[in-house]
Amino acid sequence: MSLQLDALQAAGCEKIFEDAGISGAQESRPGLDLALAALQPGDVLTVWRLDRLGRTLPHLITTVHDLGSRGIGFRSITENIDTTTAGGELLFHIMGALAQFDRRLIGERTRAGIDAARRRGKHLGRPGGLTPEKIAHARNTIGSREQSVTGMAEILGVHRSTLHRNLKKQGR
C-alpha cells in the first residue's frame, strides 16, 4: 500500500482515496465512489495501476468514458496512460474497440453453440416439471373426472397452464 501511496504523492495527487481490504473486482467501492463523486470538470483521476480502478476492461472503459463525458481526465501511473493527451485518448479508444470486439465474438460463439445444440436435438432452458408418468396419471385422473385440471395441477405442484401445456403436447 505504501508503494502505491508514494507513487500517487510523487505524481502530485492532492487528494487520495483508499479502499483498504476491498477487492478491486467490486465495481462499487466506498473509496472509489467518494473519489468519483468528488471529481469536477478539469480534474484528473489518477490511479497507481489500471486494476485499481476496475478488474474488467468493459468496466474500465465505461468508467473512463463517464469521466470524459464529465470533462474529467484519467491517468494510470504504471501503464503510462493519460487521457488528457491525444495518444492516451487514442490508446483508450483502441482498448474500448477491442473490448467491444471481444463482447461481439462471445455473443456469436454463444449463439453458434445454442444453434448446434438445437440441431442435435438438445433441450435448452429449464427442465420440465412433469415426467411422462405424471402427465399420464393426470390425464387418467382428469379423464375419469376424479379431479379437475386445477385440482390435479395443485396436487402435482405446477400451475394449471403448465399442466394444460403438457397434456396438449402429449396429445390430450
Task: Identify the CATH number of the domain defined by range 2-116.
Answer: 3.40.50.1390
State the SS3 of the chain: CHHHHHHHHHCCCCCCCCCCCCCCCCCCCHHHHHHHHHCCCCCEEEECCHHHCCCCHHHHHHHHHHHHHCCCEEEECCCCEECCCHHHHHHHHHHHHHHHHHHHHHHHHHHHHHHHHHHCCCCCCCCCCCCHHHHHHHHHHHHCCCCCHHHHHHHHCCCHHHHHHHHHHCCC
Q: Kindly report the pTM of this predicted structure.
A: 0.56
- All structural domains of the chain with their residue ranges: 2-116, 132-169
Q: What is the pLDDT of residue 120?
A: 95
pLDDT tens digits for range 31-67: 888 988 999 999 999 998 888 887 787 888 888 989 9
Q: Residues of the chain whose pLDDT is less than 70?
A: 1, 21-28, 172
CATH topology of domain 132-169: Arc Repressor Mutant, subunit A (1.10.10)
